[in-house]
Structures are given as C-alpha cells and as structure tokens.
Structure 1
Amino acid sequence: MELADVTTLRLGGPARDVVEVTTEAELVDAVRTADAAATPLLLVAGGSNLVVDDAGFDGTVVLVRTRGVQVEADACSGAQVVVQAGEPWDDLVALAVESGWVGMEALSGIPGSTGATPVQNVGAYGQEVAQTIAWVRVYDRTQQKVRTIFAVDCGFGYRHSRFKAEPGRYVVLAVAFQLRLGDLSAPIAYAELATRLGVDVGDRAPLADVRRTVLALRGSKGMVLDADDPDTWSAGSFFTNPVLDAEAAQRLPEAAPRFPQPDGSVKTSAAWLIQAAGFERGHATADGRASLSTKHTLALTNRGDASSADVLALAREVRDGVRDAFGVTLVPEPVLVGCAL
C-alpha cells in the first residue's frame, strides 16, 4: 500500500506491513504485537495531519477504522458522548448539531479522525476540543496498559497536549466529550465568524447556522476536502500561529495581528507573516508541483504530482523567508514521518 493513498496531502511511499483494525481490542493487539517485535509503528486514521517521506515507512502501518458513538444524556448533566478513535471527526460534529449537543459546532469541516483531536488539541474559529473533552482512553505503550486520562491531566494548550509532548507513547482508543444540551451555540469567540453570522462576539447563534457558516468559511479558504480541488490536497494549516513573548511581539510590524494571551504572551498570525514576507497565495515551487493554496497562504498543497520532497522544500522556503523578514521561526503543525524540515 502506498501511504499517498491514505493521506490528505496524497504523499508518502509504500508501507512494509499494513494492519487494519475495527475494534479497540484489535487496535491494542496490533500495537502490542508491533512493540513486542520492536517493529516501527505508524497509526493512520484520517491521514489529514501527516507528511510521509517518499521512501515510505519501513514498519507496520495500523489503519484505525474503529467506529462507535455511545451517548448518555439528560436535562441536568447534558450529554456525555464517548467516541471511538476512528470515527470521522466531521461526522461527529454533524451528529452533535443534529442532536442539540453544544460545544463543537465551530469545529465543523475539519478533516481527520476523532482520536487525533486531543493530540493536537484541535481548534478553529474560537473553539478547541479541550473545552469539551471529559477524558481520553489510551493504550500507554510505556506502561503497557489501557488507561483513562481525565481532561485536567491532558496538559492541553494551544495545539498541544501531553499526548503530543510524548510522541509515540499514547495510542488514543476513545474520547469522551461532555456537551451542554440546547439549540444555540456556545458563545461565538471569533470575530470573523460573528460578523458572518450577524451577531456580536460573545453572542450565541443557532447550531445549524454556525455549522453552515463555518463550512462556508472553511470552503472559501480551501479547508474542506474536495477530491476535485487541489487547493484542498493539503494537511490543513501547515504552520501553527506563533506565540511570542511581549518583547518579540513588539518587534513585529505595526500591522501584524496581535492576540494577547492570559500568561502575558502574544499570539500572532502565521498566515499574515507568510504573506507579509512576500509569499502570495499560489506561490509555487519552480516546477509548480507544490504550492501555497490559491485561497489561503497557510495551506501547502500538492498540485497533483508533487513528492514529499517538493512540499518540504516549499515549507523550508516559507519558513526561512518568514524568519529572515521578521525573526520568527514558524513551527510545522503536521506530523513529519521519516522526513524533517
């Protein structure tokens, strides 16, 4: 199997061995078997956050196809929704909106699996999964046992968690979300979304309206998968938004976006830095095989016949250009498998 067939960037060479699992027990068994044989292991579910080397993966690739959503709901405590790791994320968000579960509607349209969301603390348009996760069930490869880790112990931060801090140690099996019941969204925290909805920041809006508006916003930026649109053949946002100390943020141009954080740091926009450094939408490698999306500078795209080397070369060009212009080093968001910037 070519890993290009199971990643949204459509990149990656052959896997040595492939195991497909459909239950938690099969997933744990596949990981234990690989570990017992000291075989390199790569877990692939949605494949939306991976950049895999052209040489492929010399080990076992486990395709996580586990499914299942269990719900316990009542008017007092809301809904606790336990979701298997392989469930497609956007299917879950659609179900939440249809069912009147509040708290993940602004995360509509994000590709990938539910099990990947706590690792990156996936977020968009003012929401993060950390706001609604109750606990995460994992297989701990170090302790060689299944564990339940409650949200308070997950180490959630901006695009970060304890699962990301110790790469490879934890295999997410299931995620439990605690969601309020209602017809209106959580307070809208993102100005662009509030404007599109015709409400003020902090107001609520009907769940279905929020989902529809987020899908439209993401679609306009090429951030909703479309088999016919190369602008969506990406890993989503390739770089995280830099979080700077106050002094570094002060050195940015006056026009640079600044979002003060509770700890005194300042978040800025990677997309703004990329464009201000001279990289316009559609900026491409010399052969045109990889380019920035024509809709959004933060997405690096495969135009149809790119290699991983092509995309990484473009990423280096952008990273180095931003560093030279502003003294800020952009950090990649996808997981790089067998390759590096």
Structure 2
Amino acid sequence: MSRTLADLTTLRVGGPVGRLVEASTEEEIVETVVAADEAGEPLLVLGGGSNVLAADAGFAGVVVRDARQEIAVESQDACGGAAFWASAGMPWDNLVLRAVAEGWAGVEALSGIPGSTGATPVQNVGAYGQEVGDVVAMVRTWDRQEKRYRTLAHGELGLGYRTSILKESLRDRTNAWYPTPRYVVLRVMFQMRLATRSTPIRYPELARALDVEVGERVDAAEVRSAVLALRAGKGMVLDADDPDTWSAGSFFTNPVLPEGSALPEGAPQWPAGPGLVKTSAAWLIQRAGFDKGFAVPGGGAASLSTKHALAITNRGGARAADLLALARTVRDGVRDAFAITLEPEPVLIGLAL
C-alpha cells in the first residue's frame, strides 16, 4: 500500500509520496540522497514530520526517513561533562528522557517537543528558556552541493532564533535543494554538564509552575515533569486522541524586530540580539481577534487549537487547503491590525502561504 504524507506528519494532511525509503544506516541515507540528486528527483528528508505542511496532491519524489535511534557516548567525566553523538533519526524526546536519567543537564526544559534529533539544530529548537544550540557541539552532515561529508562545529552553524546555516537553503524555495536543505543532518554531537539539577530556570512561566524564582536550579526530573504538564495544557504534547495536538506546533515564529519598532501597547517584548527585540506571535494573534478555537467560516476541519492560539490544527479530515486558508486569514489579520507580518515555521511542501 502506498504511503501518504498524511501518514507521516503530525498535521495528518498530504497526499501520496513517489517512493519512501526507511534508511537503517548512514550510508543508505547518503546513497539515496546522492541518487536522487543525480537523477534530478525531488527529495524530502523527513524526521518526525512535526514541522511539515504538505499539499493534498502529495510529493512526486523520494522521501527518506532515518530509522536509526542510536546514542553513542564518547566521554563522560566531571571536568568535561558528557559528550555523545545521537543519530538524526532518534526521537528528540527519547534523547531528553535519556539525558535526564543520566544526569546530563541542559535539555530538560525541551521535554515533549515532537520530531527527530536531526531537525533540532536546523531550527535551533528552543522552549522554556533553553535552546538546542546551548548544548550542540557539532553536526555531521552530507553536503549536497559539494557532494561530501562535512562536520560543522558549533561556531560554524550560525545558530540564532529558529535558524541556522542548515536552514538557510530553505529560505529560497526556488533553489535546487528545497524542500530538503543543502546540508542533510546525519548525526549530532552534544556536550552537556553532569548534574542532577537543572540549568538555571530562565522562563517565568516555568518558574511559577515549579514555585521557584527565575535563576534557581531544581531537580532536572522535576523540570521535565513541569514542562510536560505545561505543554500538555497547551496541546503541545502529541496525543492520538486529542485533535489539539494534530498540528505542527507553533505555526508562526515570534517576530524579531528592530529596537524602537512600533509595537502595540502592552505587547510583550524581549531582547533578541544587538538592536533587536522579539515579541509574541500568540499575543498578536489573539489581540487581532483570533482567539483559541477560531475557524474560518466554511473552512473545513481546520481551526486554531482550543488550548493555544499559535497552533493551527486539523480537527479530523482537514485538507491542506483548509489549513492554509486559516493560516492566511490569521497572518493577514495580524498584518492589518499591527503592520507586522508573521512568518510560518513549518516547511511548506507543494504549497505557498
């Protein structure tokens, strides 16, 4: 039976794929990528499918999934901490669970995030005051342009808010690599402190949930439990029985603007680098009149999550066109209200916002 992208993504939409390869070795991944590139065949390297919105027409190319779920510890001592490689296909939350159990500190606040480990440095995934970039040491990749393996050190990755050089080739959808980046992530090396207590709690909402002050450290397992509860309350932990989780997580990124930009009164803002501030996409969406559960009249089975206005959800049987129409309505409404254009976070396959 042919597979569809609806089977392979958390939004549960998308038509048939031309060919699906479940790769069990690094060599098989690279061989498949090289063969597709040489044949001019469209290529999608897919992880957990949690950051993808695919067209109902499907993808007439090869879809590669990394079936490896491996962690290899290189060193572990009090001075250097823990250094370990994880295969790109390792489910991210499985890695976080292992880290908390082993006393590897630095990712406990990233619990419950769906998707694969290989996708995390591409987006520089972050939540509740932590970012993957805080603990990534290097990334082993296949460079499709130079046709060779390349290991990129932390300083070469260009990590920023939801971005990296790994993601740069996805910005221009007309380039030869889309919808897979130029660099195909094969495995990621992490460097973490050895500690049973967390890194300092940076996020006020998490601090309140833990009943501590910002800056305090607590048991890492407590942080994981608190984060999972917070995420579940927002429909951000996958649950087959909860349509609020049939989403791509946060559909829009938080806008990053020059300091001094006109923001609506009361809009939250945080420093985002030299001369930049970040504000809340969810706050803008709700203040523009799109509350939790909002749906476009006649828009099929697509709505904002009933738990979090930043998630666009498939309530069951939605088409990609339904989800896209809702995303456009929200984006245009925020732009009209506040002159700020929200940018989508998921990779759009066969679609344009």
Q: Give the TM-score of the pair, scaled to structure 2.
A: 0.95
The match for 1:91 is: 94
Question: Per-residue deviation at 1:202?
Answer: 1.1
2:177 maps to which residue?
none
Distance between the aligned counterparts of 1:84 and 1:65, measured in 2?
9
- For 2:113, the equivalent position in structure 1 comes to 110
| Equivalent residue letter for 1:207 | A
The number of residue pairs the alignment matches comes to 339
**TM-superposed deviation, 1:81:** 1.5
The alignment's TM-score, normalised by the length of structure 1, stands at 0.98
The 2-side partners of 1:94 and 1:104 are apart by 9
Match of 1:244 among 257, 270, 275: 257
1:28 to 18, 30, 43: 30
Q: Alignment partner of 2:248: what SS?
A: strand
Aligned partners of 1:64, 1:53: CA distance in 2, in Å?
Answer: 22
What is residue 178 of structure 1 aligned with on the other side? Answer: 191
- C-alpha displacement of 1:272: 0.2
1:74 is aligned, of 71, 77, 91, to 77
Secondary structure of 1:235's counterpart equals coil
1:338 to 322, 325, 350: 350
CA apart distance, 1:260:
2.4
Q: Does 1:13 align with 2:26?
A: no
Superposed, 1:1-341 pairs within 5 Å as 1-71=3-73, 72-167=75-170, 168-248=181-261, 251-287=262-298, 288-341=300-353
Q: Give me the CA root mean square deviation.
A: 0.8
Long gaps (5+) in structure 2: 171-180
Counterparts of 2:266 and 2:288, CA distance in 1: 13
- In 2, the alpha carbon distance for the partners of 1:170 and 1:136 equals 10
1: CA distance, partners of 2:61 / 2:196: 47
1:254, CA displacement in angstroms?
1.7
Name the SS of the counterpart of 2:260 in structure 1.
helix
Q: Is the 8 A contact 1:22 1:67 kept in 2?
A: no
Percent identity among equivalent residues? 61
Deviation at 1:129, TM superposition (A): 0.4
CA distance in 2 between counterparts of 1:53 and 1:186 reads 41
Moved over 4 A (4+): none
Whether the 8 Å CA contact 1:244–1:265 is kept in 2: the answer is yes
Structure 1: segments with no counterpart, 5+ residues: none
